[in-house]
């Protein structure tokens, strides 16, 4: 029934709507997003076709999927010029987290102004004593100190996150450990591996201090995408594929035959009998009102119902995370009070398809050598193309140089044009030059 999973709580103050709206406008102007929705990218469920049609065709990084609280972190100066750090939930709620300092490279007294990071807040056990502590695991970056980097490729974005944000923070903690003890939580970079190293990532999950329920595959060849990103893949074992529903209780009625039929107290809810627990799917909002339709029922034994009753908490109308067993019955895993709505019907359909078309851990591992072979073949083709382009440039330069010598003329912009053309065909690097134009 209910899993014993602690859920991280943001150590900060929820901002009122007015301030949240101003911060959202600032983020929209910074990264070029539209609307007032959560700008974080959302993955799609992994399907069998993704093995051959995606992972064999494109370069991907893979990391473990943490089971925590998805948050964006926004670092900015407040109206008083003070350093301010906010965590933004998927519900687009802004929490100001106090007592943080994130310096810029080379100056520990400076701070970030306009940095937006994507990550997951988790509860992680310390290896020394097993005590649980908050950690923020970073896996992407949208803006760095006022610079929009969403159009850059993933390796470049991770490069900025590492050199411009994480390393200065890590150095600060090394040099001033006592002063940093007041920080509300620690930060780490997610361990990103090339997709064909997925067996290594799967094996390392048993050593994690936090709960992990799958893998995330992020494309190296695409910019950051606001909202649902069809190239961002979420793999879970079949038993970990879950749906967030709205729980509604159909409580049976008791009829007191001793009372007159006209007596309004003759019929009343019978709370001593287990109700029918119905799972409803969010269809979206109409005129500001969330609409739900019933999909199925929650499997609940008498013993499990007594466990729920013993919580002494409201159950009706709550968001619940459920998984489906091999017989098709749905079981309650935990309450999702951090969400105001369940999964949208479109997401539910994709999860159901993913469950039906599930890819096992063994199938993933079996495909790893083919993924590696395809990855290295693409890398070799890029090197051959770059080499051919370089030789062509040299050949043209020699030809033009001979003509120049014959004509006694010189073209000062020729070398720039050739080098510029060559650089456009280079393989993406982890770090790019600050001098290049922003996209």
Residue 426, pLDDT score: 35
Task: Give residue 178's region: left, alpha or beta (phi > 0; psi -120 to 50).
Answer: alpha
What is the phi/psi pair of residue 258, to 5°? -80, -15
Does 65 qualify as catalytic in the annotation? yes
Tell me the per-residue pLDDT of 233-286, one tens digit each, with 9 for 90 and over. 999 988 778 899 999 999 888 888 878 777 787 777 777 788 999 999 999 998
Exposure string over 35-57, b if 16+ CB within 10 A, otherwise e: eeebbbbebbbbbeebbeebbbe
CATH architecture of 13-237: 2-Layer Sandwich (3.30)
Cα 234 vs. chain centroid, distance in angstroms? Answer: 9
Residue 59, pLDDT score: 97
β-sheet bridge partners, residue 188: 137
Q: What global pTM score does this model have? A: 0.77
Could you list the pLDDT tens digit for every one of the 439 residues in the chain? 666 567 899 999 999 999 999 999 999 999 999 988 899 999 988 988 999 999 999 999 999 999 899 999 999 999 999 999 999 999 999 999 999 999 999 999 999 999 999 999 999 998 888 899 999 999 999 999 999 999 999 999 999 999 999 999 999 999 999 999 999 999 999 999 999 999 999 999 999 999 898 999 999 999 999 999 999 999 998 877 889 999 999 988 888 887 877 778 777 777 778 899 999 999 999 888 999 999 999 999 999 998 898 888 889 999 999 999 888 899 999 899 888 899 999 989 988 887 887 899 999 999 999 999 999 999 999 888 887 766 665 555 544 544 444 444 433 333 333 333 333 333 333 333 333 333 4
Domain ranges across the chain = 13-237, 242-357
- CATH topology for 242-357? OB fold (Dihydrolipoamide Acetyltransferase, E2P) (2.40.50)
């Amino acid at each position: 029934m209910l899993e014993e999973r602690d859920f991280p709580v943001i150590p900060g103050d929820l901002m009122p709507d007015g301030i949240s709206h101003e911060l959202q406008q600032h983020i929209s102007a910074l990264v070029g997003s539209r609307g007032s929705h959560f700008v974080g990218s959302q993955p799609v469920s992994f399907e069998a076709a993704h093995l051959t049609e995606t992972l064999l065709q494109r370069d991907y990084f893979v990391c473990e999927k943490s089971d925590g609280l998805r948050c964006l972190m926004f670092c900015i100066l407040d109206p008083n010029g003070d350093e301010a750090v906010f965590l933004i939930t998927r519900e687009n709620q802004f929490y100001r987290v106090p007592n943080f300092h994130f310096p810029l490279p080379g100056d520990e007294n400076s701070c970030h102004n306009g940095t937006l990071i994507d990550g997951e807040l988790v509860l992680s056990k310390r290896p020394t004593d097993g005590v649980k502590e908050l950690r923020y695991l970073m896996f992407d970056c949208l803006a760095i100190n006022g610079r929009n980097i969403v159009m850059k490729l993933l390796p470049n974005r991770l490069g900025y996150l590492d050199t411009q944000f994480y390393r200065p923070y890590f150095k600060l903690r090394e040099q001033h450990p006592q002063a940093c003890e007041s920080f509300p939580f620690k930060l780490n970079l997610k361990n990103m591996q090339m997709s064909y190293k997925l067996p290594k990532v799967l094996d390392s999950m048993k050593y994690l201090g936090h709960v992990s329920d799958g893998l995330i595959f992020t494309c190296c060849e695409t910019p950051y995408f606001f909202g649902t990103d069809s190239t961002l893949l979420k793999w879970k074992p079949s038993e970990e594929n879950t749906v967030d529903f709205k729980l509604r209780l159909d409580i049976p009625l008791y009829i007191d035959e001793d009372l007159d039929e006209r007596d309004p107290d003759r019929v009343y809810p019978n709370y001593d009998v287990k109700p029918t627990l119905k799972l409803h799917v969010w269809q979206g909002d109409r005129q500001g009102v969330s609409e739900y339709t019933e999909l199925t029922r929650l499997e609940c034994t008498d013993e499990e119902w007594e466990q729920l009753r013993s919580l002494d908490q409201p159950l009706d109308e709550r968001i619940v995370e459920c998984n489906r067993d091999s017989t098709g019955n749905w079981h309650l895993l935990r309450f999702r009070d951090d969400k105001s709505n369940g999964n949208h019907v479109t997401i539910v359909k994709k999860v159901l398809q993913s469950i039906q078309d599930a890819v096992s851990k063994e199938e993933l591992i079996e495909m790893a050598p083919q993924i590696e072979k395809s990855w290295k073949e693409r890398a070799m083709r890029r090197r051959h193309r770059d080499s051919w382009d370089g030789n062509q440039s040299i050949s043209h330069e020699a030809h033009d140089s001979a003509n120049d010598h014959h004509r006694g003329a010189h073209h000062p912009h020729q070398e720039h044009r050739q080098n510029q053309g060559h650089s456009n065909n280079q393989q993406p690097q982890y770090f790019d030059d600050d001098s290049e134009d922003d996209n």
